[in-house]
Amino acid sequence: MLFWILVAVLTAVVAVILLYPLLRGAKAAEDIRAGEAAVYRDQLRELDRDLNGGLITPEEADYARAEIGRRLIAVSADELEETPKPARHHRFTEAFVLLVLPVLGLCFYLTTGRPDLPSQPLEARLENPGNDMAVLITKAERHLAQNPDDGKGWDVLAPIYVRTMRVNDAQVAYRNAIRLLGPSPARLDGLAETLMAISDGVVTEETRQVLEQSLTLQPDNPRARFYIAFSMEQAERPDEARQAFETLAKQSPADAPWLPLVNQHIALNGGAPAVPDQAAPITPAAPGANQAAPGANQAAPGANQAAPGNPTQQDVAAADNMSAGDRQQMIRGMVASLDAKLSEDPNNFEGWMRLVRSYAVLNDKDRAAGALKRGLAAFPPAGEQGRQLLALAKELGIATEGMMQ
């Protein structure tokens, strides 16, 4: 009942706001006409005083009185003739505002709204959030506002912020978790990736320091080593970048999901794709870290070398004897093959992630944007996988305008 009372009050307030200019306009017009008539009457009285004082002749007074009288009659006639017209127009408008608009609004609400649903105030939703991610985040934020030294709370909230693309909030959450719980490879890698997202994929000096701190805690951390090698590539130090990527590739397991990406960077820096060293496999990232790729969500753990678009052992062996141009052509051929396979079978999320990044690494931003758009058609932005695609695009500097819906 309270709801409908509020609806009635709001409807009345809106009607008054809409009708006020109409009523005010009619009154203003009447005031203007009344003012003009008063001015002409004052002129007639002034004319009589001038005649009695001998300032004008009787002939001049008669001529002026006739002109003033003519204007006074014209104002009075306008008031009599024009007042009904706007009144009729206003009556129609007033009826529309008072009757038609509320009826239309009520019909629209009854057809598209849910008046039968009980009220759901924020406090009640926070008590029982269910699977509503926005409410869960709000509940966690309220808890942390009251308990800012809850390191575990910040540690849990930080990756959620990343998944919802709130990278600035994620940076604050990671810093608080590190301050309260101490540094760990997972927290430091998460902070580094967040800083990269804020800087549009650039490995800044601060990001590099965070990655080096992560390596002191876990020397064989593939995510940190990948990004440090990537920072050398961005700094236009191709020899150092190639050596760092080659070392990472040789020490990676044969089925490491990040290996195809590492081989692409090796080729871009003038080297040949490396064969993993099975005798010295790299240890996976710490529990809780994103092992899908070295920070890039590249593929799920256990992806194999025969996955679409990945180089086979024969491809790697053949690349050793190729020139830099031939190796680049081979890589483009593998990317084109992956693109074709995804056109036939678009329900391959890891394939879309790999394809978008591959085109970006090849500096083909137009094809990267096209692959992103097609990937979002298969995995909409509202879903978790769609948000990962958009986050990857932001990391790689790919425009996402018009793809968010």
Structure tokens at 40: 């002409």
Whether the model clears a pTM of 0.75, i.e. scores above it, the answer is no
The C-alpha atoms of residue 146 and residue 133 are separated, in whole angstroms, by 20
Percent helix, strand, coil in the chain (nearest 5)? 70, 0, 30
pLDDT of residue 126: 54
pLDDT at 365: 83
What would the two tokens of residue 16 be? 């008054």
CA atoms of 6 and 235, how far apart (whole Å): 63
Length of the chain measured in residues: 405
Cα→Cα distances 320→250, 329, 330, 369, Å: 14, 14, 12, 31
Token pair recorded at residue 254: 């044969």
Contact (CB, 8 A) for 267 and 244: no
Q: How far apart are CA 233 and CA 269, in angstroms?
A: 8
Residue 109 phi/psi, 5° resolution? -65, -40
Structure tokens at 104: 């239309």
Which whole-number Å values give the CA distances from 240 to 216, 245, 250, in the listed order?
A: 20, 9, 15
Render each residue's pLDDT in the chain as its tens digit; 405 residues: 566 677 777 777 777 777 666 665 555 555 566 667 777 777 778 877 877 877 778 787 777 777 877 777 776 665 555 444 444 556 667 666 667 777 777 777 777 776 666 666 655 555 665 566 777 788 788 888 999 999 999 998 998 888 888 889 999 999 999 999 999 999 999 999 999 988 888 899 999 999 999 999 999 899 999 999 999 998 889 899 999 999 998 888 877 888 888 888 888 888 766 544 433 333 333 333 333 334 433 333 233 333 344 444 445 444 444 455 555 666 777 788 788 888 888 888 888 888 888 888 777 888 888 888 898 888 888 888 888 888 888 878 888 777 765
What are the distances in angstroms from CA 271 to CA 228, 258, 266, 314? 18, 17, 5, 17
- Residue 40 DSSP SS3: helix
